Amino acid sequence: MLRWIRQQLGFDPPHQSDTRTVYVANRFPQHGHYVPQRFADNRIISSKYTVWNFVPKNLFEQFRRIANFYFLIIFLVQLMIDTPTSPITSGLPLFFVITVTAIKQGYEDWLRHKADNEVNGAPVFVVRSGSLVQTRSKNIRVGDIVRVAKDETFPADLALLSSDRADGTCHITTASLDGETNLKTHYSVAETSVCQSVSQLEALQAVVECQQPEADLYRFVGRITVTQHGEEIVRPLGPENLLLRGARLKNTKEIYGVAVYTGMESKMALNYKCKSQKRSAVEKSMNTFLIIYLVILLFEAVLSTILKYAWQAEEKWNEPFYNQKTEQERNSSPILKFISDFLAFLVLYNFIIPISLYVTVEMQKFLGSFFIGWDLDLYHEESDQKAQVNTSDLNEELGQVEYVFTDKTGTLTENEMQFRECSINGTKYREVNGKLVPEGMTDDSPDGSTPRLIGEELLFLQAVSLCHTVQISYDQPDCLVGGGDPFSHANGFSSNHMEYYASSPDEKALVEATKRIGVAFTGSNGDVMEIKAFGKAEKYKLLHVLEFDADRRRMSVILQTPSGGKVLFTKGAESAILPFTTSGEIEKTRLHVDEFALKGLRTLVVACRHFSPEEYIDVDRRLNAARTALQQREERLQEAFSYIERDLQLLGATGVEDKLQDKVQETIEALRLAGIKVWVLTGDKHETAVSVSLSCGHFHRTMNILELLQQRSDNECAEQLRRLARRIKEDHVIQHGLVVDGASLSLALREHEKLFMEVCKNCSAVLCCRMAPLQKAKVVRLLKTSPEKPITLAIGDGANDVSMIQEAHVGIGIMGKEGRQAVRNSDYAIARFKFLSKLLLVHGHFYYIRIATLVQYFFYKNVCFITPQFLYQFFCLFSQQTLYDSVYLTLYNICFTSLPILVYSLFEQLVHPHILQNKPGLYRDISKNSLLSFRTFLYWTLLGFCHAFIFFFGSYILMGEDTTLMGNGQILRANRQLMFGNWTFGTLVFTVMVITVTLKLALETQFWTWMNHFVTWGSIAFYFIFSLFYGGIIWPFLHTQDMYFVFVQLLSSGSAWFAIIIIVITCLFPDVVKKVFYRHLQPTSTQKSQMYSNRVAIGDDFIALQPLSRAKSQLGKISLYQPPRRRPSAVWSPCAATNMGKAAVPAWPTSWSK
């Protein structure tokens, strides 16, 4: 505990050095001055609270909210001074809100504790004292040797020591970490791979030195020093030697590894850290309104206090005969009396701040988020994936999006690659029936066979089939590489025995293509890679892998050929390969690459370099030196890679097709009609990106395409931007599209942000190509922070999209083929891009109108609630007498008016979902937070004040006609039946208020369900039943019972019923007239659509089968007021919360129905 406190205060940092030293099997040095490092234990703690800190920590977090803290202050004031209301009136609602939130958070944390205990208590095997001991996962220490069996997950981050394979390798899957389901090969160093028994491992003397823990899953820098026969052997350790906690062992019987990072220091745990909290525009508006109401509250309290002292300036009111002051009151300080009175009025009016607003909003967001997952229209049957919500705090933000930033590959396209063409030594080839056919030739040669590929063509195919990280999985478990021929004869290789797995779909497509053509990769055994070139087996020794990275944009392998030569094969983007080539058909290949890109194909360039023995020795030395460095390893590796990957011989290029996803064009068009601008941010070369943009409808053929490409200096970039700006002004009628590349974007963002943004905002569509991940995030941030502060949405499927997804106001992950990193870091996840239109146009629309009305209505009903209390002070000499009973004060927001608005905020639909999807323009009606504008807020607030005045003065006037107000404060009716003074009057006002605010919400409700009816009429009925019981029985636990028999007497009066009906009608009738007047004389497009949806119902089977443009044109042909002709109703497809009755359907033309 003391150590933990010291660490929290910064006096005892857990890691004093940049590296950690791990002694394998905890064999510490015997010399006396060794001080062991302290490491975290292996417990995983995802929970937030413990039994001891739950109450203080949870209370601290809840009272950080302004409203909760405000009510706590009011409660304390009520306890400390004599206030007109009981502390219970503030304390009980506060207690209710705090308790409900604490129970919700406590339950969620209990589930996390339960999951943690399952993980921490899992059985594991550890080598200790020369034997294999079973223990619990939480007991693993750094330095322990752990045994993991097939299909088990790794309990800590382990450096691989050995496996049951002779070469010390193992296969794992990291699906739980990054979603990649392909098999990855991990390696042990040669000196430890021979230790395959417990006794050998116990005798192993080794020390691992590595960096301190960091969150990057793909980075590990370390080295292992093995002592054999008194000699120390140093070997480098990298990501390929580290088995991450949470990954699973596959196709390997067992492995042994030494724990280097444990518990909360493992890479998986370090990735638990919370993303930055995103706040919606509605929440910001809510806080602004709260501050305005605080000002109103302070104004009312100050005014009441001043008026009280002004009134008491007259002697007769200062100390009336019935309320003589005590001596202490006469002698008390005027300032203290003023402050005390001010605080008392503050307490009296404090209910104008709606404390239950926060808890209702939380419940609405939490429960409402289930509708996205339940919507069958967002379910993708082929992959069995439904939409998922990772955060419910941004539901309403889906209805406010102004800019969509989308990745291309895997988001707009399927990320299913098909090899189409290639260029070899300046000649273009295409694949026809598993054969490479030169351009201009058919696959029908005179003798019915294809000429054997030789020379450069064969070398090109060998390079493609060897330069990759593909793994092979065999259907037959006993089928080993080299254990029999898994292929059939010649070019007709069978795929029944094996399947390729790759982290990149491009690699898989290329290796499968070379296999069909005749050069098949048949697997690897240790550092030996085997291919079969037209039936002839060839073995290559893998010497080094130069891994792919986003900066170099290429990957390479160095191999020893069967003849003993050393060769480097490399592949990557043309801009990353061509500048480093010195031989080959460079210009022809460049032209072919551009042609492939114009066809929308993804291109890769392939090259090689042959090393002399002396060159290879130099290369090997540089690589080993860089890989064993503990400091600045990445920089030194980049230098080594740059030295090696030069003087290349160009072999050719490949063109792979990535087909568009279904309904991408319709989705982009719908977003454009909704007023949303779409930007495509991709890493592809600009010709490919432009081609795909045209085919998916992002760019139109009639659009004027502007280019900001290959800018080399700030001045050049600025001049080009000015030219583009002038061109846009001159051709202002034409739609413009802008294409920017990564290099030019860097220059534009460095010095000319304002000019760049001016050009972009005047373009209908923007395409950014050759983008690095951080550049994507910078573009999003640029739009976010522009003066207009538009709401942005980013959507992508890969790890390179994570920064963009986290930067945008709303981040959406696509459940694609590039892993699950984007999904894990997103706010929402969907299976296909086409689902974005319904997510925004329907769900976003619904969520926004629901919560906007919820917020406005809450403030409205609280103004209605507390303003009569303020007015009553003018009639009671500002004596701080309450108008309502304390129980009514407490239950108004908790019971009497809470459920109708909650149900409304869950189910309300202004327009039918099908209409919203097929009229995207309706999205514009709610854009820019229009329903929470200051004008709308002012309308609801003034409406609340107006209704409150009618409640109070209506009750006062109507009751005054039937009664005589006696001097003792009692009300005497004409028939001499005694009623109970101010409590009767207050109850009448309260009754009218409960009925009116409930019916006001009923008037606002467009979409009625049985639940709406139940809570609306049920709330009014509950109020009457509760009041009858509360006032009709003497409750022994109440000290005073002012309301005894008041409600019964009130309801027994005909004039009271008359007053209730008259006042309710007076309040709501102008609302009805206003709605009718505006709906018929100045209808909004939403109201027109409501009228339209009441006249016609359009079946899913009709809409789903039509292209969007055709559906729109057909819908346009239907007159809004066309009298409908009956026909059998169309069948509705299942859709969440869409159980509306079927209206009359016009008789469609036969061709449309088909």
**Looking at the annotation, which residues are catalytic?**
407
Residue 461 to residues 434, 521, 586, 755: CA-CA distances in angstroms?
13, 10, 18, 48
The number of residues in the chain equals 1154
Q: What six digits make up the tokens of 806?
A: 């986290």
Please give the Cα distance from 664 to 737 (Å, whole number): 18
Residue 68, classed as helix, strand or coil, is helix
Residue 365 to residues 274, 282, 745, 927, 1013: CA-CA distances in angstroms?
20, 12, 38, 20, 22
Q: Which residues contact 454 (CB under 8 A, 6 or more apart)?
A: none
Contacts 24+ apart (CB under 8 A), 755-758: 755/718, 755/721, 755/722, 755/725, 756/721, 756/782, 757/782, 757/783, 757/786, 758/725
Is the sign of the CA dihedral 186, 187, 188, 194 positive or negative? positive
- Residue identified by tokens 């898989």 is 508
Of 723, 742, 736, 576, which Cα lies nearest the Cα of 646?
576
* Complete edge-to-edge strand list for the sheet that includes strand 963-965: 963-965, 971-973, 978-979
Q: Partners of 171 in the beta sheet?
A: 185, 250
- DSSP code at position 870: H
Angle between helical axes of 753-761 and 714-730 (0-180°, round to 10): 30
Please give the Cα distance from 1046 to 1027 (Å, whole number): 9
Please give the Cα distance from 614 to 616 (Å, whole number): 5
Where is 756: in which H helix or E strand? Answer: helix 753-761
Q: Which residues contact 918 (CB under 8 A, 6 or more apart)?
A: 1098, 1103, 1108, 1111, 1112, 1115
Please give the Cα distance from 603 to 593 (Å, whole number): 7
Helices H / strands E in the chain, number of each: 42, 38
Is the sign of the CA dihedral 625, 631, 637, 640 positive or negative? negative
**Looking at 807-913, which runs of residues are DSSP E strands?**
810-814, 828-830
- DSSP code at position 552: T
Burial 981-995 (b: 16+ CB within 10 A, else e): bbbbbbbbbbbbbbb
Q: What six digits make up the tokens of 488?
A: 């059939």
Please give the Cα distance from 406 to 792 (Å, whole number): 11
Q: Are 213 and 23 in contact (CB under 8 A)?
A: no
Q: Do strands 248-250 and 403-406 pair parallel, antiparallel, or not at all (unpaired)?
A: unpaired
- DSSP code at position 746: H
Q: What share of the chain is helix, strand, coil (3-state, %, to 5)?
A: 50, 20, 35
Please give the Cα distance from 477 to 471 (Å, whole number): 15
State phi, psi for 467 to the nearest 5 degrees.
-95, 85
Q: Are 653 and 593 in contact (CB under 8 A)?
A: yes
Of 270, 277, 414, which Cα lies nearest the Cα of 833?
414
Of 711, 706, 682, which Cα lies nearest the Cα of 769?
682
